[in-house]
């Protein structure tokens, strides 16, 4: 191999490894971390453009916490200086009421401010993340897409990004809870050190309980998450394969298997819920214990005159509030864990290297002679296992060349290299006399078009689907293209004509109609070179006649590389190249290859000889179907 080949193979291996990791439930491996500096650093990078808003939100959190801390102090001050026997002062009472109302107003305004700012900022950050992931996914190489499950990518683009929204809310709430805890401790000790020490002694007991609780709780949370993944996987698999399930009569067997997995999930969820909920009564009990300490010890000192009544009342309020943030932080623990797992999964997608990128100095592919040439090309998908071996051939401008051969001979791989969906290991692929690696992918796409065996139509109108690759095309151009390929009549017969909205993948049209729309799309794109990858392999005999006429109009005046199973597609090709095991074994016209009695003739005789002749006569000599 050339010097370039090892580096390309190493890149393919890295892509394969990345895809393999993405297809594993790696979130289960990292689940349990409530804080990951690397993930947080990456996430903060997306927060940076909104730092002014975030600082404003933090300011609201501080104001909210300060108002929370001030309320018991105001109440305690009122008791000692206004409501105490012999100290009643209506003016002072009015002043205290005004201060109390002001504190409540600050509390409400700060709470509203932080909710609104965090809500809007969080949505903008998630919008940026979704946009970054979508843009990155569209640029990933076919090698990566071939090895990665679409469902897992969708889960990361939707579910995991959504989990970060919950995390952002939790992050601000946790900050407020921590500030409130610190503030309460500071205020308690500033009011009375002895009573504060007695009251907070129960916290040591809470820490011991939490240390005992944390390890089994984490295992329970992980087990519940794993069971959820198993159930979701089984559900998705059975929904996608429902036709096969019903055909094979597997409903009852699959139900029993699913019920077993669902029951495991139920048990795991109940166990996780038990650990999640057990801390609540523990915290409530400790809250009651701390309040009992305040009432007993504080009441004794009030009766002795060593402690003011207002201070004791403030202690009661603070103790009650002290355990609220602890309860909240306990509930937020699992949210933080999910966020770390989701962040890991999101950034793994964003870190997948883009395989096909324009080289430095790549030029635009302008007006060219639409020729294609393969020069000693070696290529494969797995390092060390080449699919094409030293492949060389050329397609002249305006020539139609067909690629045929047994399954796995390398036909589709050859066509994919023309569009540079993959990088060759050795040799060169040239379009218009220029190596496809030396031109920009965008300019290459303007000259090379493809029509696939199963055309992909988007959930949009017929008009938008036809002009998908040429968004500036006029309605007149779209209609002319549809007429040229014979699609106009069935389109106008629909209720909304060209404005008919297609269902998912064009499910409200027949396969033949979808293929005609893909031909019209290729005609509107008006590329110099057209690749047809088994474009008639799934078409019924009745529809094939219309498809053949459409193909004839589509290919007129264009350089074409046609991969076909049906001889009707390639019988009139200027040249037929026969591939076997990634090598060219024969080349010539249909008649020449039959006369040579080689692989092409054996494929023809074995599969299509008698049937092809009968169908050709039935179609009036327009061509018969066959596969190669």
Q: Which helix (H) or strand (E) holds 426?
A: strand 426-431
* Cα–Cα distance measured from residue 387 to residue 410, given in angstroms and rounded to the nearest whole number: 6
How far apart are the C-alpha atoms of 112 and 171, rounded to whole Å?
Answer: 17
CATH code of the domain made up of 36-191+338-354? 1.20.1560.10
> What are the Cα distances from residue 503, in Å, to 399, 459, 535?
37, 5, 21
Once rounded to an integer, what is the mean pLDDT over residues 148-161?
A: 56
CATH pick for 372-619 out of 2.60.40.2140, 3.40.120.10, 3.40.50.300, 1.10.10.10: 3.40.50.300
The structure tokens listed for 597 are: 């009695």
Can you give the pLDDT at residue 611? 44
Model confidence at 266, in pLDDT bands (50, 70, 90)?
A: very high
Tokens of 593: 């290859």
Cβ atoms within 10 Å, residue 448 = 24
* Dihedral angle of Cα 304, 306, 311, 316, to the nearest 10 degrees: -50
Query: What does the pLDDT read at residue 377?
Result: 92
Residue 51: per-residue pLDDT = 85
Residue found under tokens 């790696």: 26
Pick from 497, 201, 225, 445: which is nearest to 322 by CA?
201
pLDDT in the model for residue 192? 86
Asked if residue 39 lies in contact with residue 154, where contact means CB atoms within 8 angstroms, the answer is no
Rounded CA gap, 365 and 398, in Å?
18
pTM exceeds 0.85? no
Measured distance CA(185)–CA(206) in Å, rounded: 15
The pLDDT, as a whole number, for residue 4 is 44
Task: Say yes or no to pLDDT of 231 above 60.
Answer: yes
Burial (Cβ within 10 Å: 0-12, 13-18, ≥19) of residue 29? exposed
Residue given tokens 């909210």 in the structure block: 64
**Between residues 591 and 31, the one the model is more confident about:** 591
pLDDT of residue 159: 59
Q: For residue 137, give the nearest of 346, 440, 444, 344 by alpha carbon.
A: 346
- Give me the residue spans of the domains in the chain: 36-191+338-354, 193-306, 372-619
* pLDDT of 378 over the 90 cut: yes
Three-state DSSP at 476 gives: helix
Q: What is the mean pLDDT of the chain?
A: 77
SS3 letters across 505-539 = HHCCCCHHHHHHHHHHHHHHHCCCEEEEECCCCCC
Instruction: Say what percent of the chain tops pLDDT 90.
Output: 6
Mean pLDDT check: name the lowest of 199-203, 258-262, 540-544. Answer: 540-544
């Amino acid at each position: 191999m050339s010097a370039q080949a090892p580096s390309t193979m190493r890149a393919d291996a890295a892509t394969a490894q990345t895809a393999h990791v993405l297809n594993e439930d790696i979130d289960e491996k990292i689940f349990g971390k409530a804080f990951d500096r690397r993930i947080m650093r990456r996430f903060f990078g997306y927060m940076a453009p909104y730092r002014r808003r975030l600082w404003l939100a933090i300011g609201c959190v501080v104001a909210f916490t300060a108002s929370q801390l001030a309320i018991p102090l105001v109440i305690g001050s009122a008791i000692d200086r206004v409501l105490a026997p012999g100290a009643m002062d209506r003016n002072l009472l009015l002043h205290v009421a005004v201060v109390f109302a002001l504190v409540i107003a600050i509390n409400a305004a700060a709470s509203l401010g932080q909710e609104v700012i965090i809500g809007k900022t969080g949505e903008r950050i998630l919008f940026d993340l979704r946009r970054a992931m979508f843009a990155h996914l569209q640029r990933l190489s076919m090698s990566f897409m071939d090895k990665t499950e679409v469902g897992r990518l969708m889960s990361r683009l939707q579910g995991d990004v959504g989990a970060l929204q919950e995390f952002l809310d939790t992050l601000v709430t946790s900050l407020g809870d921590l500030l409130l805890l610190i503030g309460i401790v500071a205020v308690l000790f500033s009011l009375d050190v002895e009573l504060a020490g007695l009251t907070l002694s129960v916290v040591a007991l809470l820490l011991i309980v939490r240390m005992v609780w944390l390890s089994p709780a984490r295992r329970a949370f992980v087990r519940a998450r794993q069971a959820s993944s198993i159930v979701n996987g089984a559900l998705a698999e059975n929904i996608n394969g429902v036709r096969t399930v019903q055909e094979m009569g597997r409903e009852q067997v699959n139900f029993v298997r699913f019920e077993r997995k669902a029951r495991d999930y139920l048990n795991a969820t109940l166990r996780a819920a038990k650990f999640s909920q057990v801390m609540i009564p523990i915290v409530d009990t400790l809250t009651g214990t701390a309040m009992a300490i305040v009432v007993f010890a504080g009441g004794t000192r009030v009766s002795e005159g060593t402690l003011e009544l207002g201070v004791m009342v403030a202690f009661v309020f603070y103790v009650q509030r002290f355990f609220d943030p602890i309860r909240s932080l306990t509930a937020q623990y699992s949210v933080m864990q999910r966020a770390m797992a989701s962040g890991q999964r999101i950034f793994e997608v964003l870190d997948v290297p883009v395989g096909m990128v324009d080289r430095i100095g790549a030029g635009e592919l302008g007006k060219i002679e639409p020729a294609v040439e393969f020069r000693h090309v070696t290529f494969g998908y797995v390092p060390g296992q080449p699919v094409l071996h030293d492949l060389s051939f050329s397609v002249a401008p305006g020539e139609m060349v067909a690629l045929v051969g047994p399954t796995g001979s390398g036909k589709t791989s050859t066509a994919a290299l023309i569009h540079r969906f993959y990088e060759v290991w050795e040799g060169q692929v040239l379009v218009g006399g220029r190596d496809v690696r030396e031109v920009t992918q965008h300019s290459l796409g303007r000259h090379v078009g493809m029509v696939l065996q199963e055309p992909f139509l988007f959930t949009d109108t017929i008009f938008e689907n036809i002009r998908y690759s040429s968004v500036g095309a006029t309605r007149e151009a779209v209609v002319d293209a549809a007429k040229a390929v014979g699609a106009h009549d069935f389109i106008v017969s629909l209720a909304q004509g060209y404005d008919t909205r297609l269902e998912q993948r064009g499910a409200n049209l027949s396969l033949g109609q979808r293929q005609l729309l893909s031909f019209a799309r290729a005609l509107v794109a008006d590329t110099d070179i057209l690749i047809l990858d088994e474009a008639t392999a799934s078409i019924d005999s009745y529809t094939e006649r219309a498809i053949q006429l459409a193909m004839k109009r589509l290919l007129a005046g264009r350089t074409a590389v046609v991969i076909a199973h049906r001889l009707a597609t390639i019988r009139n090709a200027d040249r037929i190249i026969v591939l076997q095991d990634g090598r060219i074994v024969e080349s010539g016209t249909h008649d020449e290859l039959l006369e040579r009695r080689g692989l092409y003739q054996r494929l023809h005789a074995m599969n299509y000889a008698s049937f092809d002749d009968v169908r050709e006569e039935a179609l009036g000599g327009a061509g018969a179907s066959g596969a190669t």
